[in-house]
Homo-oligomer: A and B are copies of this chain.
Amino acid sequence: MSTIQFQRVTIIGLGHIGSSIARAVKQLGLAGELVTTDASAAIRKRAAEIGLGDRVAETNADAVRDADLVIVCVPVGVCGKVAADIGAHLKAGAIVSDVGSVKSTVLREMSAHLPLNVHFIPAHPVAGTEDSGPDSGFAELFINRWCILTPPPDADPTAVEKLATLWRTIGANVEIMTAEHHDMVLAVTSHLPHLIAYTIVGTADELENVTQAEVLKFSAGGFRDFTRIAASDPTMWRDIFLANKDAVLEMLGAFQEDLSKLTRAIRRGDGEVLFDHFTRTRAIRRGIVNLGQDAAGADFGRPHAHLPPQKS
């Protein structure tokens, strides 16, 4: 018995996420044929060189012809445009999905261009590294990560289940929620952390009394942890903040209140407020490690060199 789940799968956009899905689908043999494409000619060329898909199509319209599943893996700001490209070329009954980090705007902007005879089921795999581009993806990226589906209320349960099965097969856990709730949850677990990291890395870069060389050298005191997510793809993240503006601003408000509380405690020398806060946050780390959502080892499991053997 074959493990083929869809006769033809099309992946549009071969960045970190799209190329990872392509690798996983291919490695597990989940598609009868895997067709890929990208807006960039250089990336299409690279995809053909490294074998990302059985066929690399030249246009979005061509790529989706006769596809049973289309996954749009582009920055959320261009999801609407891609939907406009493909809307008239989709097969009746096809499942169309995406991987965007914001769901309400994507749902609205893509729906406007998709015909009623396809199943549109937005998705967001909560996974990724700071790298981008077709060479950075890997088939194992989604293992034990969550993929959130945000089907519209009238979505066909069979189509939802088919998409969920694909995500589970490539290693993800699947959760279903509304687009609005997704955007609130991700604003705190992903968008606000990125905004804060982008901010502090920028702050450290333009100080008057500390040089950039010093910031880099002594970054192991904590700063380096922030630089990883502040190295994420600028286009992707610009689009996320613009698309999820309201939820991000709401979370920022809560963050600012809490930062004011701790700033006041430092200014007043109130050690008890600081100690209580720091004790509470320590427990949260344990919860994440226990859920398998981070490495159990200290320091994210970063590697260490060895000391030379003892001389005598």
Q: Which residues of A contact B (CB under 8 A)?
A: 2-3, 24, 27-29, 77, 101, 126-131, 136, 138-141, 143-146, 148, 170-171, 175, 184-186, 188-205, 207, 209-210, 212, 214-232, 234-235, 237-239, 241-242, 245, 248-249, 251-252, 254-255, 258-259, 262-263, 265-267, 269, 271, 274-275, 277-282, 284-288, 291, 293-295, 298-308, 310-312
Partner of A130, one of B24, B191, B299: B299
CA separation between A201 and B294, bound complex, in Å?
15
Q: Are B221 and A306 in contact (CB under 8 A)?
A: no
Q: Are A188 and B203 in contact (CB under 8 A)?
A: yes
B residues near A145, Cβ cutoff 8 Å: 220
Query: Closest chain B residue to A237 by CB distance?
Result: B278
Q: Are B230 and A198 in contact (CB under 8 A)?
A: no
Known contacts A130-B298, A203-B251, A301-B303; A146/B217 CB under 8 A: yes
CA separation between A284 and B217, bound complex, in Å?
11
CA separation between A220 and B147, bound complex, in Å?
11
Query: Closest chain B residue to A132 by CB distance?
Result: B282
CA separation between A282 and B203, bound complex, in Å?
13
B residues near A303, Cβ cutoff 8 Å: 295, 301
Selected A-B contacts with CB under 8 Å, 28 pairs: A2-B312, A28-B308, A28-B311, A77-B271, A136-B298, A188-B203, A188-B207, A190-B223, A192-B203, A193-B200, A195-B259, A196-B259, A197-B222, A198-B277, A198-B278, A199-B262, A200-B255, A201-B285, A216-B287, A222-B229, A227-B285, A231-B284, A232-B282, A234-B282, A237-B278, A238-B278, A245-B267, A301-B303
CA separation between A209 and B139, bound complex, in Å?
34
B residues near A287, Cβ cutoff 8 Å: 212, 216
CA separation between A210 and B181, bound complex, in Å?
8
CA separation between A167 and B23, bound complex, in Å?
46
Q: Name the distance in Å between A72's Cβ and chain B's nearest Cβ.
A: 19
Query: Closest chain B residue to A143 by CB distance?
Result: B305
Q: Name the distance in Å between A312's Cβ and chain B's nearest Cβ.
A: 7
Partner of A171, one of B241, B245, B305: B305
B residues near A228, Cβ cutoff 8 Å: 225, 285, 294, 299-300
Q: Are A306 and B140 in contact (CB under 8 A)?
A: yes
B residues near A210, Cβ cutoff 8 Å: 184-185, 188-189
B residues near A245, Cβ cutoff 8 Å: 266-267, 269
Known contacts A263-B249, A299-B228; A214/B199 CB under 8 A: no
Q: Name the distance in Å between A146's Cβ and chain B's nearest Cβ.
A: 6
B residues near A259, Cβ cutoff 8 Å: 195-196, 199, 252
Q: Name the distance in Å between A160's Cβ and chain B's nearest Cβ.
A: 19
B residues near A284, Cβ cutoff 8 Å: 201, 204-205, 212, 215-216, 227, 230-231
Query: Closest chain B residue to A28 by CB distance?
Result: B310
B residues near A197, Cβ cutoff 8 Å: 222, 225, 281
